[in-house]
A = this chain, B = another copy of it.
Amino acid sequence: MSSTTKTLELLAHFSTSRPEIGLSQLCRLAKRDKATTYRHLQALEETGFLERNPVSKKYRLGPIVLQLARTREATVPRKAGVEAPLVALAGATGETSHVTVLSGKTVYALASCESPRHGTRAIIDIETFPLHATASGLCALAFGPTDLMAFAQKNLCGFTAMTPTTAQELENIVGTIRATGFGCANRSYEDEVLGLSAPVFDQTGHYAGAVSVASVAARFTPDLKRIIQEHLVIAARDITRNWGGTLPPQIEEAWAKTLSHSNTLDTAS
């Protein structure tokens, strides 16, 4: 791993829930040496990726990332095409909805939207999604580049008792997803959360990301599952269209087939 990679990985520890980090704290989070981390922080500071909070002396993200984000969005307008379908999806299902994008071998959160319908709801506070344990990640394995599966199988860490930890388990799950057209992660990443997702495609015709609904497992029913799936289809179609892509016919067929007899499927599928 290059020095640059290690440096840039430090930025992943900043989030809305932990927006400012001091040197020692970051060393613990990243499990790194203090001197090294300090030099890394200095490099990030002098390039504008981090700045110091003048009062707390801690480090926080710098203004340059706003600049880069604007360029990215101007280059690949993704975020703008997601807002409306996402709000509609959260409203229709009453559950937290989010969109992820696949870049290289990593699944990133792009946007998320909570529904106020229930007091308890799933919170999407991670930046990158494990391939084997989340609905979005499984969707990428099922419909994304074929070399992703081999990569995922090298890192089958268990998050809950339900997390698939063998290559065979994972293959089976992905096979089901290919057949149904919907990613499903039943308490495999967090104990109380059940995720459902549908793939989204871009103008190159490749898998681009997934739109997902994270439901509280305790209130999940076959009825809710069907409602979520129906609206996932709508959202996936909308977003795919907004991104200039088209849905492969086999995806549409899988969806149609799944929905036509979804009442006969149980929630564990």
Docked Cα-Cα span, A257 to B245, in Å, equals 48
Closest residue of chain B to A239, judged by CB? B63
List of B residues within 8 angstroms of A16 by Cβ: 70-71, 74-75
Q: Is the CB of B49 within 8 A of A63?
A: no
Number of copies: 2
**A67 interface neighbour in B66, B108, B206, Cβ under 8 Å:** B108
List of B residues within 8 angstroms of A205 by Cβ: 70
A71-B16, A104-B51, A204-B55 are contacts. A60–B76 as well, Cβ < 8 Å?
yes
**Does A269 count as interface, using CB distance less than 8 angstroms?**
no
Q: Is the CB of A63 within 8 A of B46?
A: no
A window 27-60: CB within 8 A of B: 39-40, 43-49, 51, 54-55, 60
List of B residues within 8 angstroms of A8 by Cβ: 4, 43-44, 47, 49
**A4 interface neighbour in B19, B40, B81, B109, Cβ under 8 Å:** B40
Q: Is the CB of A64 within 8 A of B3?
A: no
Residues 225-269 of A, flagged 1 when their CB comes within 8 A of B and 0 if not, give 000000000000000011111100000000000000000000000
Give, as a whole number of angstroms, the nearest-CB distance from A4 to chain B. 4
A103-B64, A244-B63 are contacts. A9–B108 as well, Cβ < 8 Å?
no
Docked Cα-Cα span, A73 to B60, in Å, equals 11
Number of interface residues of A (CB under 8 A): 64
Docked Cα-Cα span, A79 to B68, in Å, equals 14
**Does A157 count as interface, using CB distance less than 8 angstroms?**
no
**Does A20 count as interface, using CB distance less than 8 angstroms?**
yes
Docked Cα-Cα span, A4 to B46, in Å, equals 10
Q: Is the CB of B3 within 8 A of A3?
A: yes
List of B residues within 8 angstroms of A71 by Cβ: 14-16, 19, 61, 65
Residues of A at the B interface (CB closer than 8 Å) are 2-5, 7-9, 11, 14-16, 19-20, 39-40, 43-49, 51, 54-55, 60-76, 78-79, 81, 84, 101, 103-104, 106, 108-110, 127, 203-206, 241-246
